[in-house]
Amino acid sequence: MHLNRSTRSWRRCALASAAALATAGALVVTVPPVAARATISSCDAHQFCMWQNANYNNNQSGSFWVRTYGNYSNFAWIYVGDSFNDQASSVYNSRSYRVGVNKAANPASGTYKYCWPGQYKNSNLTTINWPGGGGEVNDSISAFWFSDNSSNCGPGF
């Protein structure tokens, strides 16, 4: 039998089998779900979360960054990473304790920093500026740290 004829025959058999299974209700097609978009409810307890877009990505695609307390030393500046540096437009500190953010990746000075309380939310970082004339906080967070209590911002604040 010719190769093309054999291939066509195999395809006809496969299609006929699939049709028979579908008619019998036995054909199961698994379609992967649409990727869930990270919303404010995606930020669990003990986490500090940032979204690339205002309004916690507003049900649109955009990067979502999350760090969990306990995985980092307290009061130690941690670079957010190349993939999220200067990207945050909304934030949520779902922890009970404070979190610090800084404009610089390796803060040499304490001029451009904030210490936000537990449960702090800001859906649009264009509404606040860095202290000392550092411009908008939007799209400029480079480092963070975790506090171990709710009343103290720690050294340098």
Q: CA-CA distance, 61 to 128, in Å (whole number)? A: 24
Q: CA-CA distance, 13 to 19, in Å (whole number)? A: 10
Total residues found in the chain within this entry? 157
pLDDT at 136 over 80: yes
| pLDDT score for 60 | 80
- Report the percent of the chain where pLDDT is more than 90: 58
pLDDT at 90 over 70: yes
Q: How far from chain centre, in Å, is Cα 156?
A: 28
| pLDDT score for 37 | 67
Pairing of strands 90-93, 47-51: antiparallel
Q: CA-CA distance, 24 to 4, in Å (whole number)? A: 30
pLDDT at 92 over 60: yes
pLDDT digits (tens, 9 = 90+) for 19-40: 444 444 443 333 333 334 678 8
Q: How many CB atoms lie within 10 A of CB 129?
A: 15
Average of per-residue pLDDT values in the chain: 80
| pLDDT score for 39 | 83
Instruction: Find all residues with CB under 8 Å of 118, minimum gap 6, and list them.
Output: 93, 95, 96, 97, 98, 150
- Specify whether the CB–CB gap between 79 and 142 falls below 8 A: yes
pLDDT at 154 over 80: no
Strands (E) across the chain are located at 47-51, 64-68, 78-79, 90-93, 99-102, 113-116, 121-122, 143-146
Query: Among 34-43, 50-59, 88-97, 127-136, where is mean pLDDT lowest?
Result: 34-43
pLDDT digits (tens, 9 = 90+) for 102-118: 999 887 667 899 999 99
| pLDDT score for 81 | 95
Q: Which class for 116: exposed (0-12), middle (13-18), buried (19 or more C-beta within 10 A)?
A: buried
